[in-house]
Structure formats: structure tokens, C-alpha cells
């Protein structure tokens, strides 16, 4: 079951479910039910320029896609999306003439978190902190998740 797909790898699910097909099917169904929340949420938050929410959805989606064996989508694309969205939020707060105390504190917390990454990662984030890169990562996520969704739907039918 785990090596027959291009986008998903169910070996993690198999390891936690002990090859119990009903549990695997239930976990896949839960994941499939989350897909619209992720895709619609990312699209809407991007359109609204709600960078905090883009980052939050990317973070939540990351753990879900990793459970379906989509390592690159989770550990690379969604992680990058999360970091870039956080950096855009920080930059926007710094540009505001009168940010709220809450925004200032959140931006300081996020900036401290971002500085915790190695120099190479920080450099990459700084070079790619632009809405166009966010749009590209969201599009890649949406495309990949739709293909994975098709694979997972065939798994439930078996």
C-alpha cells in the first residue's frame, strides 16, 4: 500500500494503525475532510493579506500532510510558506504608523522565532519574502494536495 502512489506514502499511517484498515480509512477520511479548510483558507487569507492566518494554516496543514507521507510538501513547501507569511507580517507591522500593542508583541515574538533559524534559512526567507512567492507556494500546495486527494480516495475504496 505505501509505495504504490506518487504523492502519498501511507507507511506512517500503517505503523500507527498496525495495518488496521478501518483506522487507516478513518484517518484518511479525516484528512480528506480537512483539505477544503486548508485550500480555501489559504486562498482566502492570501486574498485578504492575512499573513498570520496564512502562517497558521500552513503550520496546521504541515502536520496533516506529513502524516500522509508527503514529506517535501510538509517539510519544505508548507514550512517555507509559514516562514515567509510570518516575515511579511513582521515587515507590515514595522511599516505601520500606529500598530497595536498586540501586533507589536506578536511581531517581536515571530521575529525572535525567525532569527532562531540558521543563517542560510534566514537569508532564503528574506530573499523570498514577497506575496508572489506566497502565491506560488499556495498554488503548488493546492495542485499537489488535489493529486494526493485522488490517490487517497482510491485507497478508501479498496
Domain spans in the chain, listed from the N-terminal domain onward:
11-157
Q: What is the pLDDT of residue 157?
A: 59
1 has a pLDDT exceeding 50 = no
Q: Which of 78, 56, 57, 54 is nearest to 144 (CA)?
A: 78
Q: What is the pLDDT of residue 156?
A: 84
The pLDDT of 91-114, averaged and rounded, is: 94
**Cell numbers given for 116:** 532562531
Q: What is the pLDDT of residue 61?
A: 98
4 has a pLDDT exceeding 90 = no
pTM (2 d.p.): 0.91
102 has a pLDDT exceeding 70 = yes
Name the band, by pLDDT with cuts 50, 70 and 90, for residue 19: confident
pLDDT digits over 48-65, tens only? 999 999 999 999 999 999
Amino acid at each position: 500500500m505505501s509505495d504504490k502512489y506518487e504523492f502519498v506514502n501511507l507507511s506512517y499511517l500503517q505503523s500507527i494503525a498496525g495495518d488496521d484498515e478501518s483506522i487507516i480509512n478513518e484517518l484518511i477520511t479525516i484528512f480528506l475532510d480537512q483539505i477544503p479548510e486548508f485550500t480555501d483558507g489559504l486562498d482566502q487569507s492570501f486574498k485578504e493579506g492575512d499573513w498570520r492566518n496564512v502562517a497558521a494554516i500552513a503550520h496546521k496543514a504541515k502536520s496533516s500532510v506529513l502524516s500522509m507521507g508527503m514529506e517535501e510538501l510538509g517539510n519544505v513547501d508548507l514550512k517555507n510558506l509559514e516562514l515567509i507569511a510570518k516575515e511579511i507580517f513582521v515587515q507590515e507591522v514595522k511599516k505601520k504608523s500606529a500598530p497595536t500593542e498586540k501586533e507589536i508583541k506578536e511581531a517581536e515574538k515571530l521575529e525572535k522565532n525567525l532569527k532562531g533559524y540558521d543563517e542560510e534559512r534566514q537569508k532564503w526567507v528574506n530573499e523570498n519574502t514577497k506575496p508572489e512567492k506566497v502565491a506560488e507556494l499556495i498554488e503548488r500546495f493546492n495542485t499537489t494536495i488535489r493529486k494526493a486527494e485522488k490517490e487517497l480516495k482510491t485507497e478508501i475504496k479498496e
